[in-house]
Structure 1
Amino acid sequence: MKKLIPATIEFYERMEKVDVFGLAAQLAYFFLLSLFPFLLFLVNLVGFFPLDEDMILQLIVDYAPPQVYHLIESNLLTLIHTHNGGLLSIGIIGTLWAASNGVNAVTKALNRAYGIRPKRIFIVYRFLSILLTIGMFLVVIVALLLPVSGRMIGEYFFSFFGSSHEFLQIWETFRWVTSSIIFFIALLALYKLAPHRRVYFRNVVWGALFSTFGFQLVSWVFSFYVSSLRNYSTMYGSLGAVIVLMVWFYLFGIIVLLGGVLNAYLHERTIRKNFNGNGGAK
């Protein structure tokens, strides 16, 4: 207990240094800007992959508050009804621009957490952010395709044993495990690649686990809070769902940044422990 209080104070000071809450607000803004261009991009991919709007919404329904889900659902259906293949390039450009700004904010926070002063020029900095953003998009696409292919493979395999119905029940029960694993892998890659220094996977596992389970917990509590109060529409009118969406994005940004700060903090403590264990500098 004596060590816990100083460690908590030290961790909070690192949070203040990184400006977690300020950068989380930036992330929420860029998430909002990139959300609907990304939905437009996904809608135009429906014709190329075995996807439909239900599969896209399935990634959201387990985490988002009901108001957020209905807002995204209505806008997604509007995009589907006004489907235009020529808008694919607009969706890609808009998503890359807004989402790469969000990646920049994460990179800035992680560099501060590790005490790194970036030495890369702006063009290289932006190019790497776009590459990392594209990687995150690929993870989302895989997250959409994996449940489809996994269910098809499972049905085919268990049909030989005459238990395909039981498999479907198990699949629906543990469907959230798949999304959690993909979310964890995406965070693992983000914490590994975003900082401007060599970071090993073993040094980012705890932060990725914290953010994966933390986001699920916070989303569940926030959804319960919003559903219980039901006064956002009264207070904000037609903007109530947008306000809930922004708060949800803000909480998500805080969780993601806290995971990165936790990785940097634990890494520094390990270095200090090894340094003191070796008797300091020789």
Structure 2
Amino acid sequence: MIKIICIRFLKERYFDLAAQTAYYLLLSVFPFLIFIISLLQFFPVNAEMLLTFLRPFAPAESFILLEKNIEIVLNQGKGKVLYISLGSALWLSSIAVQSLARSLDLANGFKRKGAFWKSLIRDLGITSLFMLVIPLSLFLPIIETALYKVVTYYDQIEQWQGWFYIWPNVKWGLGTLFLLLFFLLFYTVVPTGKMKVREAFPGAIFSAFGWQLFSLLFGDYVSSVDYTRLYGQLSGIILLVLWFYSTAVIILLSGLMNAEWRKSFR
């Protein structure tokens, strides 16, 4: 199966589709994050929690770029940011969703049927769904804090030396579980054809673990290479594009994995 996936990825030029998706992700990331942060005023979380959640995954220089631009826009826009960014984030993010939907349809052999406006409404609906799902990830720190308070109710637990090894794994496990559920939902609803949960499971697992592993390795690589000498002030943007491209590659490889896995049920 791995050989077939690699052959299809190269022969059907999914690396080009990944570049296309990375471009759309770059267009949508700022309005999308700004909208999410503006939306946080209705939840018991703040912008710092969102940035803290993103920090382990994004390259250091790219994270600084995201953080600075978000702070500038929020400080200038205040209350108007939510309404302005809602329209732009919804539209630009839906373009990225449309790109991914077409790629996943191609992988599974699905054909889009119906009028263009029906597909557009569907993609806008899916984008809106993810806009509501992603803020739920920000409740992970709240859950972690509550869990920490429960297990440290007795002072002896904090004094146990093994606690310092177990707790980071618990936090990682909660984050991985959320990513697994997110990608499972993603690969089930984004393709226009009917995808069962069991058919989307292999790709969801690969995406959840592969994306975290890649982000970790990519972060170590970036920290050991000085991109500012080559790209100067553009280094943050270049690294962000590379990160988006690699993320798109992982998503599309997972989509191909689901497609090949799906064939085994026929």
Structure 2 runs not aligned, ≥5 long: none
Partner of 2:63: 69
Report the AA paired with residue 269 of structure 1.
Answer: S
Q: TM-score, normalization: structure 2? A: 0.89
Specify whether residues 17 and 118 from structure 1 end up closer, same or farther in structure 2 by C-alpha distance, changes over 3 A only: farther
Counterpart code for 1:253: A
Q: 1:245 aligns with which of 237, 240, 246?
A: 240
- Mapped to 2, the partners of 1:17 and 1:131 lie a distance apart of 32
Which range moved further: 39-48 or 11-20?
Answer: 11-20
CA distance in 2, matches of 1:92, 1:71: 21
Determine the structure 1 residue equivalent to 2:27: 33
Tell me if structure 2 keeps the 8 A contact 1:192–1:200: yes
**Residue 31 to residue 166, structure 1, CA distance change in 2 (3 Å):** farther
Aligned length: 263
Q: What percentage of residue pairs aligned between the two structures are identical?
A: 31
Contact 1:118–1:196 (Cα < 8 Å) also in 2: yes
> How far 1:214 sits from its partner (Å)?
1.0
**Separation in 2, partners of 1:229, 1:249:** 19
Contact 1:100 1:133 survives alignment (8 Å): yes
Amino acid at match of 2:254: G
Equivalent residue number for residue 181 of structure 2: 185
Which of 249, 253, 257 pairs up with 1:254? 249
Report the CA distance between 1:122 and its aligned residue. Answer: 0.7
Within the candidate set 129, 147, 155, 1:154 is matched to 147
Question: Among residues 229, 235, 238, which one is paired with 2:230 in the alignment?
Answer: 235
Alignment partner for residue 213 of structure 1, among 209, 212, 232?
A: 209
Q: Does 1:10 align with 2:4?
A: yes
Letter in 2 for 1:59: F
Specify every segment of 5 or more residues in structure 1 that has no aligned partner in the other structure, as ranges: 1-6, 272-282
TM superposition shift of 1:205: 0.6
Using the alignment, how far apart are the partners of 2:264 and 2:169 within structure 1?
39
Distance in 2 between residues matched to 1:96 and 1:18, nearest whole Å: 29
CA distance in 2, matches of 1:163, 1:126: 57
Contact 2:59 2:215 in 1 (8 A): yes
